[in-house]
Structure 1
Amino acid sequence: MRVAIPHQLDQDEVRRRLKSNTESVGDHIPGGAAVRTTWPSEDRMDMAIGAMGQNLVAHVDLEPGQLVLNVDLPPALSFVEPMIAGAIRSQGDRLLAPPKK
């Protein structure tokens, strides 16, 4: 599943905000999730997600003007792909919110 989240920020600001919001990534997933993140490069965040009894692998690519979230959904969750994609789009702005002070 591929979901693009448009934004108006420069790449450095996107990186800063994503890294500062990393601890709350699981809060943005419907039903909550355990999420472990790593940054294999400055423009990619990898995620290991435990949600709905499933273990998912995802990554977020930082592209000019958008974040692109790619999630490998197992067949057991493919029927809810539209719901998950919609939730990601609606919650995506929270990932890019300015850090709370």
Structure 2
Amino acid sequence: MASPIIISIPHQLGRAEARRRIGAGFGKIVNLLPGSSGRASERWDGDRLTFSVAALGQSVCGVIEVFDATVTMEIELPGVLRVIASGLKERLQKMGQLLLTKK
């Protein structure tokens, strides 16, 4: 089994605002997954978001954790989706940075 995609994004928003922005922008993150229907199951447990989404007929699972100065994403890509892991990691990193840019 391949290693998960792990992304760490620093921010200066504070935990509550970063969590709010991740929650509000979660659909944008899901839409970056190739072949995703845009429908995901998601569950917040404190500042930890656990999710699953169907993409190209497979289940992609992940966790997003919000901390005081960083947000980390850990996403497991099954089968054929592992081939696109590096390009996907870059797009997820950019989307996360856009969501967490102080405005």
TM-score of Structure 1 vs Structure 2, range by shorter chain = 0.7 to 0.9
In structure 2, the CA distance between the partners of 1:7 and 1:32, relative to structure 1 (3 Å rule), is farther
> Could you tell me which of 31, 38, 42 is aligned with 1:37?
42
In structure 2, the CA distance between the partners of 1:32 and 1:76, relative to structure 1 (3 Å rule), is closer
Indicate the percent of aligned positions where both proteins have the same amino acid.
Answer: 23
In structure 2, the CA distance between the partners of 1:24 and 1:76, relative to structure 1 (3 Å rule), is closer
Normalising by the residue count of structure 1, what TM-score does the alignment of the two structures yield?
0.77
Query: Per-residue CA shift, 1:18-73, capped at 9, x if unaligned?
Result: 2233344433x15463222210x211011111223321111101123211100111
The alpha-carbon deviation at position 84 of structure 1 amounts to: 1.0
Does 1:3 find its partner at 2:32? no
- Over the aligned positions, Cα root-mean-square deviation in angstroms equals 2.2
Q: Secondary structure at the match of 1:85?
A: helix
Question: Are 2:41 and 2:52, in contact at CA under 8 Å, matched by a contact in 1?
Answer: yes
Instruction: Work out the number of aligned pairs and report it.
Output: 96
For structure 1, which runs of at least 5 residues remain unmatched after alignment?
A: none
Normalising by the residue count of structure 2, what TM-score does the alignment of the two structures yield?
0.76
